[in-house]
Amino acid sequence: MQPLPVPCPAHLVPDATGTHAFHDAYRTAMAHNAVFVAIEAEGRYWTVKADTLTTGSGPRVTDAANDAIRTAILRLVDAREVDFGAYTGPVYFMMHGVRDEERARELAAALHAALHEDLDPLSRAVPPASSSG
């Protein structure tokens, strides 16, 4: 398995459904000191997972990126697009209850980019709440 490119197109986010697929994707990330990101099927819904422990002693995610990711995940929870109880970092991120594979891939790719300090895909995937008034 090759490491994911940065930025990672949504269609290349690995489907880590099943123990072997998950372990293969995680080991690949560790072997390349890269951020782990994947999606998993859970019944009729999908889960997005990311982990920065796989980067070893490499650079850490900035506070600004972590804040942006946390804010985006909480907006998704508020909109009931992902289940309550999502992990919002700063090392491990997980979103359960994503409605379909395409959206899970989009969110995973945006999360992966944000963990590499590129917040634009995250802003597109989870636009800021608009103020009305």
List, for residues 68-91, the tens digit of each pLDDT value: 999 999 999 999 999 999 999 999
- Of 103, 4, 8, the C-alpha closest to 46 is 103
Phi-psi region of 4 (alpha: psi -120 to 50; beta: other; left: phi over 0): beta
Q: Model-level pTM?
A: 0.94
In order, the DSSP letters of 23-73 are HHHHHHHHHTT--EEEEEEETTEEEEEEESGGGTTSPPPPHHHHHHHHHHH
Average predicted confidence (pLDDT) for the chain: 93
List, for residues 34-57, the tens digit of each pLDDT value: 999 999 999 999 999 999 999 988
